[in-house]
Structure 1
Amino acid sequence: MAKSRETFNKKEKEKQRQKKKQEKLDKKEARKSGNDKSTDFEDMIAYVDEFGNITSTPPDPAKKKTEVDPDSIQITVPKDSEMSDAPDEKKKGRVTFFNESKGYGFIKDSQSGESIFVHINKCLDEIKEGDVVNYETEKTPKGLSATEVKLAP
């Protein structure tokens, strides 16, 4: 008599395949019949109350609404440390580092103490380390940069 070619391991794997196949068919039938939670359009709607919280109940139209006078609303530019400086206002600082071969350096502002980048193209006078200078600032993608740099009198 010949030995059976089906081993225990092969039988177990075949059972698992059949089980997965049956589960997949059951899920497919459940989706088709609509037994699972079907989402209605009404279930998907969300409302925002007067405090900014998301709720499922619509706002009450009988609730007293407050009238706002549009002329009383003030729209201003936010005060920012870089934006508050007037463009025509000259600042004063000391050159802390300047590389003459590469043409760039840094100025330490005398009031705020922040370090500001300076390039030789933006200098009106020749500068070197330790010089006291007057300058203006401009906003660049990498931060503040000094422009119109002159030696202080």
Structure 2
Amino acid sequence: MSRPNSFNKKEVEKRKEQKRKEKSKRKEERKTNPGSKSFDDMIAYVDANGMITDTKPDLTIKKPEIELDQILISAPKHEEEESVGMQGRVEYFNEEKGYGFIKDLGSTNKYFFHISKAPKNIKVGDVVLFELERGHKGNNAINIAYKQ
């Protein structure tokens, strides 16, 4: 018991057939009237200023030579900075192990120091002058001297 084709089915078939015909018509138009652009028209060039153009650049013009010394870089060259002396108080010192910590008077930072970088008779509470050096775990105090 097959059902006869309904009106909707016929309409859908008509629309599909119409789309197929339109598509084949467009395809034929493309074949008969090829695009106005050839391969040479599609190529773009980049000029000396970095702009995209359709004309080939003139290779006879030479670029001006720029010496490396004339190029300015925004970051200044790294120059060796003189380490600024800092003041601090010895907060902790262990004579047996030979290390201690100095608390900076200008801030709350504490810096590690080793006995080899400090005066022989240093003790807790001494006010000292020192410089900083980058160590394994942070800044270390070096060149430790008593404040006069």
Q: When the two structures are superposed, what TM-score results if normalisation uses the length of structure 2?
A: 0.49
> For the pair shown, which has the larger CA radius of gyration, 1 or 2?
2
